[in-house]
Structure formats: structure tokens, C-alpha cells
Amino acid sequence: MVAVIGSVVLVAVLVVAGFLVAPQIIRAAATEVAASDTHLTLTGAGGSATVPVDADWSYVVGPFDQSTAQVRSPDGIFTVEFTLRSGSDAEKEVGDAVGGALTPFDSEPVGAATVVHARIVGEDAIAGAVVEGGASLVFIARPATGYDAELAGLLSRIEVTP
């Protein structure tokens, strides 16, 4: 009886561990490091977006969804998660993606697009969107402190097409 209970507990632990660890392993296996400057193309119902990836930065596009991606700086500390969304209310799209409190939004024109952004309350992170027409490329950048120039340079080169 003890052996059966032990076996059941072991199987349960392995199943839970599989659900927790497997996504991390899949994500790590799909991550690539850019050997030279390159671009990611994200597509979805909202249109498409081109995200620049500088040499030595790592990136991963969603394995089941071509509308999401993450880029990471060469030092491995700064990450920006992107999600392409459709909708005319970029601030609502950002709020939905964050799921928490945000400071008031700022809005800036960047080329033909507009960038709206706010700080996530209680975190060292910035959330926002690059907006063009009815498409929004929502981003969450962590940490915000010390990486302002990198984020600004990245956002200024993104192209969104509705």
C-alpha cells in the first residue's frame, strides 16, 4: 500500500514538474542570438510589425503564435516582450497586457507612428505601444532603470503596418 501511494505521489510530482519546467525548456531551445543586425516580423489579425534585433541580442518568437516575441540585451538583464494587437485604444491594450496599475500615459510621435507609454506601478518596468492606424505593438520592458537609451533606440526603429 505504501509503495502504491509513493508511486502515485512520484507521478504527481513529475507531472507538476513537467508543466512548470517544460515551457522554460521549450523557450530556451527556441531562443536565438543574432549574429548580425536582423529584423523579426510579427503578424496577427491586427496587421504586422517589424522589430529590429541588434547583433548579439537574443530573441524568441512565440512558438505557437507569430504575434509575440521577446528580445534580450547581450548582458541578459534587459528584456522587452512584444505582442501585436488590433484595436483603436492602445492604452486599453497596454492595460490589458499588464493587468495591473499604470502611471498616466505619455504619448510621443516617432516617425509615422505614435508611442504611448507608462510605468508599471510597483515595478521597475515600462509598458506601452507603438501605434500605427488600427494596429498596436504592445511592449513591456524590464528593467526600466538604466536602459532608457536602449528602449528609445529600439522603439524608434519599429515599423507597424495595420
Map residue 138 onto helix, strand or coil. strand
Question: What pLDDT was estimated at residue 25?
Answer: 47
Which positions of the chain have pLDDT values less than 50?
Answer: 17, 22-29
Cβ–Cβ contacts within 10 Å for residue 42, how many? 23
Question: Helix or strand or coil: residue 1?
Answer: coil
Domain coordinates in residue numbering, the chain: 1-30, 33-161
Task: Give the CATH number of domain 33-161.
Answer: 3.40.1000.10
Distance, CA of 52 to CA of 35 (rounded, Å): 13
Q: What is the pLDDT of residue 26?
A: 45
pLDDT of residue 133: 83
N- to C-terminal Cα separation, the chain: 62
pLDDT tens for each residue of 84-115: 988 778 999 999 999 889 999 999 998 778 99
Continuous H helices in 31-147: 90-98
Q: Which residues pair with 84 in a beta bridge?
A: 137
Q: Give the predicted TM-score (pTM) of the model.
A: 0.81
Instruction: Give the C-alpha separation, 127 to 119, whole Å.
Output: 6
User: What gap in Å lies between CA 57 and CA 144, rounded to an integer?
Assistant: 17
